[in-house]
Amino acid sequence: MAVDTTSFREVFIGRFDDLKVVFRVLREFFSDTKFYGYKYSNNNVVFDKINIVDEIPFNISDIQRPGFYRVSHGYRFRHSYCSPKDFLLPSEHRLLTVSQSYEFIEDIESIDSSIVFFGIKSCDRKAIDILDHILYGRNPVYTKRRDSVKAIVVEECLEPGETCFCSAVNSGPTISKGFDIAYAKLDQDTILFKYGSLVGEKILRSIGLREADEDIIKIYLGMVEKAVSIMRSRIPDVEDIQKVLVKIVADKDLWDEITSRCVGCGNCNYVCPTCFCTEVVDRVEESFSTRVGVRIGCLTYIYGLVSGGHFRQELYTRYRHFVLHKYLFYLKQVGDIGCVGCGRCITWCPVGIDLRDTLKRLSEVEKR
């Protein structure tokens, strides 16, 4: 890979302690702001409010395989079952509260007005773009929460996990837009920083980082190239997948074969950072009633259950819809596919169904 160092004039090099300084300076810059990101607590990683810098999973790693997840020692943390979606569109969120006398009507729940996302991944950032196209301005809860996000700090993953394939769907491992500060761990104590906004530039310059030299940039690009090469080999070409999907939509035997182990639990929907389906539920209490949005997955049986029948009663039709939606229907909705290659649906499937195997199996049909 040829290295064009002219495009890296604004890349800085620092140490692990500098990352903690960035966090502190951000807190000073955005006063009265809450920080959200991956938070390590009780041997678990959630996406939640970060109160102190030591809660961020800087010094842990993860092991991910189909149907398997463990937090481990190291410094290459990718993600967990959570994502920024858990803040932007919680699994349950209040839409309306009405008093018994109808004298009191409260709109959607209040939230903090100023939020910073810290340490989200490149695939997470791409997922936010997809959700923006679908929900922003249409879903009041999502819109209000999205407007509260004032800055985004992204961690680029330079060593993909076993279930990652972000580069194969153009959502990582690096990021070039839609962020204020991005950082990448070259090793346990060497971190490369870059900015994507004037705010990010001001903060990075204020802490006295030195500009990265050509040797550092070569190391960075070499790690990126290796990560990209690994992940692009994990699924067939996306355009080829789309061509096959159009042809085999009605092939019941094939879809039955592919979904033979699926139990319809919906885990893949709930952990997916771009799945957005919710249903509205009214709950009547003694003195007030509440209308809430509740997350629902298209793999679950109740998703297709409507008055008078069920429009996806057979399980293979629900899994088929999941795949078609990610690789065909999102393209019509937002102009891009709805899969960001994070691998969560693979890791958190209780029976270890691997979406990559599904896509490879479909591609084999085309070759016959």
Q: Dihedral sign for Cα 202, 78, 171, 300, please.
A: negative
pLDDT score recorded for residue 102: 66
Q: How many CA atoms lie within 13 A of 197 on its CB side?
A: 14
Proportion of the chain above pLDDT 90, given as a percent: 67
Tell whether 253 and 325 lie within a shared domain: yes
Tell whether 317 and 206 lie within a shared domain: no
Closest CA to 164 of 93, 110, 235, 215: 235
Distances (CA, A) of 221 to 176, 184, 247, 326: 14, 11, 39, 30
Last residue of a domain, one of 194, 215, 232: 232
- Residue 90 in any domain: the answer is yes
Q: Is the pLDDT reported for residue 211 higher than 80?
A: yes
Q: Report the domain count for the chain.
A: 2
Q: Is the pLDDT reported for residue 181 higher than 90?
A: yes
Q: Are strands 149-156 and 181-185 parallel, antiparallel or unpaired?
A: parallel
pLDDT band at 2 (very low <50, low <70, confident <90, very high): very low
pLDDT band at 43 (very low <50, low <70, confident <90, very high): confident
* Residue 115 domain boundaries: 8-232
pLDDT band at 103 (very low <50, low <70, confident <90, very high): low
Tell whether 100 and 181 lie within a shared domain: yes
Tell whether 18 and 71 lie within a shared domain: yes
Tell whether 283 and 136 lie within a shared domain: no
pLDDT score recorded for residue 109: 72
Contacts of 4 (CB under 8 A, 6+ apart): none
Alpha helices in the chain (DSSP H): 16-29, 85-88, 122-135, 140-147, 198-206, 214-232, 238-247, 252-258, 267-271, 315-324, 330-334, 344-347, 355-367
- Residue 300 in any domain: the answer is yes
Torsion angle, CA of 98/99/105/107, rounded to 10 degrees? -50
Tell whether 161 and 244 lie within a shared domain: no
pLDDT, mean of residues 223-240: 92
Q: Judge whether 116 and 36 are in contact, CB under 8 Å.
A: yes
pLDDT band at 104 (very low <50, low <70, confident <90, very high): low
Mean pLDDT taken over the chain: 90
- Residue 2 in any domain: the answer is no
For residue 306, the Cα-to-chain-centroid distance in whole angstroms is: 30
Q: Are strands 149-156 and 115-121 parallel, antiparallel or unpaired?
A: parallel
pLDDT, mean of residues 261-288: 91
- Residue 42 in any domain: the answer is yes
pLDDT band at 249 (very low <50, low <70, confident <90, very high): confident
Last residue of a domain, one of 232, 252, 286: 232
For residue 222, the Cα-to-chain-centroid distance in whole angstroms is: 25
Tell whether 268 and 363 lie within a shared domain: yes
Tell whether 36 and 54 lie within a shared domain: yes
* Cα–Cα dist 181/154, whole Å: 6
Q: How many helices (H) and strands (E) does the chain have?
A: 13, 16
Residue 28: CB atoms within 10 Å: 10
Alpha helices in 248-338 (DSSP H): 252-258, 267-271, 315-324, 330-334
pLDDT digit string, tens, across residues 141-164: 999 999 999 999 999 999 999 999
Longest dimension (CA), the chain: 71
pLDDT, mean of residues 116-139: 95
DSSP lists the bridge partners of residue 194 as 11, 182
SS3 per residue for 250-308: CCHHHHHHHCCCCCCCCHHHHHCCCCCCEEEEEEECCCEEEEEEEECCCCCHHHHEECC
Q: Is the pLDDT reported for residue 6 higher than 50?
A: no
Distances (CA, A) of 226 to 63, 85, 161: 19, 29, 13
* Cα–Cα dist 355/358, whole Å: 5
Tell whether 154 and 74 lie within a shared domain: yes
pLDDT band at 116 (very low <50, low <70, confident <90, very high): very high
pLDDT band at 22 (very low <50, low <70, confident <90, very high): very high
Tell whether 287 and 144 lie within a shared domain: no
- Residue 215 in any domain: the answer is yes
Tell whether 205 and 327 lie within a shared domain: no
pLDDT score recorded for residue 367: 63
pLDDT, mean of residues 259-273: 94
pLDDT digit string, tens, across residues 82-92: 999 999 999 99
- Residue 1 in any domain: the answer is no
Residue of higher predicted confidence among 109 and 235: 235
Tell whether 184 and 327 lie within a shared domain: no
Q: Judge whether 349 and 227 are in contact, CB under 8 Å.
A: no
- Residue 44 in any domain: the answer is yes
Residue 53: CB atoms within 10 Å: 16
Judge if the upstream peptide bond of residue 236 is cis by omega within 30 degrees of 0.
no
pLDDT score recorded for residue 305: 80
- Residue 3 in any domain: the answer is no
Residue of higher predicted confidence among 274 and 291: 274
Proportion of the chain above pLDDT 70, given as a percent: 94
Check residue 167 and report its DSSP letter.
Answer: G
Q: Judge whether 357 and 78 are in contact, CB under 8 Å.
A: no
